[in-house]
A = this chain, B = another copy of it.
Amino acid sequence: MFRRILVANRGEIAVRLVRACRDLGVSPVAVYSTADREALHVRLADRAFHIGDSAATDSYLKIDRLIDAARKGGCDAIHPGYGFLAENAEFAGACDGAGLVFIGPGPEAMELMGNKVAARRAVSRVGVPTVPGSEQPVESTDQALDAARRIGFPVLVKASAGGGGKGMRVVDGESALAEALSIASAEAASAFADPAVYLEKYLERPRHIEVQVLGDAHNNLVHLGERECSIQRRHQKLVEECPSPLVDARLRAELGEAALAVARAAGYRNAGTVEFLVDSAGGGETPRYYFLEMNTRLQVEHPVTELVTGLDLACWQIRIAAGERLSFDQADVEWRGSAIECRVYAEDPNLGFLPSPGPICGLIEPSGPGVRNDSGVYEGFVIPVEYDPLISKTIAHGRDRLEAISRLHRAFGEYRILGVKTTIPLFLRLLVHPAFREGRLHTGFLAEHALTESPDQGDRQGEALAVAVAALEELNGRGTAADARNSVRRNRSAWKESARRHWL
């Protein structure tokens, strides 16, 4: 096992990896940009190195500075997390060149799957179906137009180097194509340092279902079942679950075999995810699935698989990179119950998911039976404007899907965040929605059920109550109504009194 691991990331995933290191008895070393000096992952690490200014291009994307920090920190391995350089073969190569183990797949698998176009070709060769699309990145508007006409609108413009919904745009007709190409390409350049984009047929109301695989360096490869990630906004996952309410044992085995074929074709080791679009439009017939892409890293949504299989994916990534063998085989993998994850973003779900960076002024995190909250913040932390606005992932595990939903709903009843807008109000609506409870999911779910509309009349009562509380608070502060003042004073001073009596 390694002695020290450099966690080359930030936010909740850096915290997650620090915890994995601790569980393995490895010393975690953090890095931070100027904006992240006070971040939670720094506080929880054993050592921490400043690697540059706040912009990701000056810090978390700077290969040389990360290698340098790993050297200074006495690390023997680097975990890239997700995003940033997690699927960057150059970074993996640089680690190797510096004598550091890159915790991820081999460079060939990364390069193959990192190029979405090449990946589609390789997957087709092993007999796994793919979504119709352009065989190459499109290099001009005209070329894109040709491809789009051949595939048929609507089409999806996607970043060739991408992932996570960035650099992705749906285009309904020819007139909007040029604009979408330009925006997607700019986003791709900014997010992945590669402006190349390609086109895919845009499926109406598909389900996003992916399969987790895990392979070691000794030719052992297993799949850990599927996750459904159909609840999305801006083509980014918002809610993920394991198992999928659509998938039965037969389809699970079929998808699992397809995922293993893809992973085998790439000579894959590490944790990885094979994503499929599943067309469930047809009524009784078996759903059709299409390979979408393979992510050669730990996914944001890995915890739902961890809870249901009882396997710690982050720890297994590290063990595999250290040369250990999987201690179980496919027959040992068991799924117990159901787990659902909701991504709590600093975004306003009632206003088109506008980012809402800023200070977490107040924070009460959920806990209790079946609830796990993988957070990257604390009370007092200021969510920087420079990075992904993920605050935490709230995950519930239950004996069945409805128990998981109840527990998640209970968790969001306890979760309080003051200072930034969050996606929590949306989850409170989603988790009681009949179509969600019945598992009738697809990627257009939120729009179809108008779950992102502005607050309704019901919220006006909440607003009136909030105003009443603000008025009471001001009254108490000013002390114009003797009763109220005394009542509050009593409360506050009881606490100060007590603190004084005990300590001061």
Instruction: Give residues in A with beta carbon < 8 Å to B.
Output: 15-16, 19-20, 22-25, 38, 44, 303, 306, 310-312, 314, 334, 336-337, 357-359, 361, 364-365, 367-375, 378, 380, 382, 399, 403, 406-407, 409-410, 413-414, 419, 491, 494-495, 498-499, 502-503
Q: A359-B499, A495-B359, A498-B382 are in contact. Are A368 and B19 (CB under 8 A)?
A: yes
Contact of A374 among B20, B311, B368 (CB under 8 A): B368
Interface pair B23/A410, CB less than 8 Å apart: yes
26 of the cross-chain contacts (CB-CB < 8 Å) are A19-B410, A22-B410, A23-B369, A23-B407, A24-B406, A25-B406, A38-B491, A303-B369, A306-B369, A310-B336, A312-B369, A312-B370, A312-B403, A334-B336, A358-B498, A358-B499, A358-B502, A359-B502, A359-B503, A361-B503, A365-B365, A367-B373, A368-B374, A369-B372, A369-B374, A382-B498
> Which of chain B's residues have a CB closer than 8 A to the CB of A310?
336-337, 399
Interface pair A368/B359, CB less than 8 Å apart: no
Q: A368-B374, A372-B369, A495-B382 are in contact. Are A399 and B312 (CB under 8 A)?
A: yes
Contact of A22 among B16, B375, B413 (CB under 8 A): B413
Interface pair A382/B303, CB less than 8 Å apart: no
Cα–Cα distance between A410 and B46 once the two chains are bound (Å): 13
Nearest B-chain residue to A395, judged by Cβ? B369
* Extra inter-chain contacts (10) besides given A16-B368, A419-B502, CB under 8 Å: A23-B369, A24-B406, A312-B370, A359-B498, A359-B499, A361-B503, A364-B378, A365-B365, A368-B372, A382-B494
Cα–Cα distance between A190 and B207 once the two chains are bound (Å): 62
Shortest C-beta distance, A28 to chain B (Å), equals: 10
Cα–Cα distance between A410 and B314 once the two chains are bound (Å): 15
> Which of chain B's residues have a CB closer than 8 A to the CB of A374?
367-369
Cα–Cα distance between A370 and B372 once the two chains are bound (Å): 8
> Which of chain B's residues have a CB closer than 8 A to the CB of A19?
368-369, 410
Shortest C-beta distance, A411 to chain B (Å), equals: 9
Contact of A367 among B336, B372, B407 (CB under 8 A): B372
Most buried by B among A312, A357, A359: A359
Shortest C-beta distance, A19 to chain B (Å), equals: 5
Cα–Cα distance between A40 and B491 once the two chains are bound (Å): 15
> Which of chain B's residues have a CB closer than 8 A to the CB of A406?
22-25
Cα–Cα distance between A375 and B365 once the two chains are bound (Å): 12
Shortest C-beta distance, A491 to chain B (Å), equals: 7
Cα–Cα distance between A311 and B403 once the two chains are bound (Å): 11
Cα–Cα distance between A312 and B407 once the two chains are bound (Å): 11
Shortest C-beta distance, A338 to chain B (Å), equals: 11
Query: 10 shortest A-B CB distances, which residue pairs?
Result: A358-B502, A22-B410, A19-B368, A23-B406, A382-B498, A359-B499, A359-B498, A367-B373, A310-B399, A23-B410
> Which of chain B's residues have a CB closer than 8 A to the CB of A357?
502
Nearest B-chain residue to A381, judged by Cβ? B495
Shortest C-beta distance, A419 to chain B (Å), equals: 7
> Which of chain B's residues have a CB closer than 8 A to the CB of A361?
499, 503
Shortest C-beta distance, A346 to chain B (Å), equals: 11
> Which of chain B's residues have a CB closer than 8 A to the CB of A373?
367
Interface pair B369/A16, CB less than 8 Å apart: yes
Most buried by B among A336, A368, A410, A495: A368
Contact of A403 among B23, B365, B368, B380 (CB under 8 A): B23
> Which of chain B's residues have a CB closer than 8 A to the CB of A20?
369
Cα–Cα distance between A433 and B380 once the two chains are bound (Å): 36
Shortest C-beta distance, A431 to chain B (Å), equals: 12
Cα–Cα distance between A393 and B491 once the two chains are bound (Å): 27
> Which of chain B's residues have a CB closer than 8 A to the CB of A369?
16, 19-20, 23, 303, 306, 312, 314, 372, 374
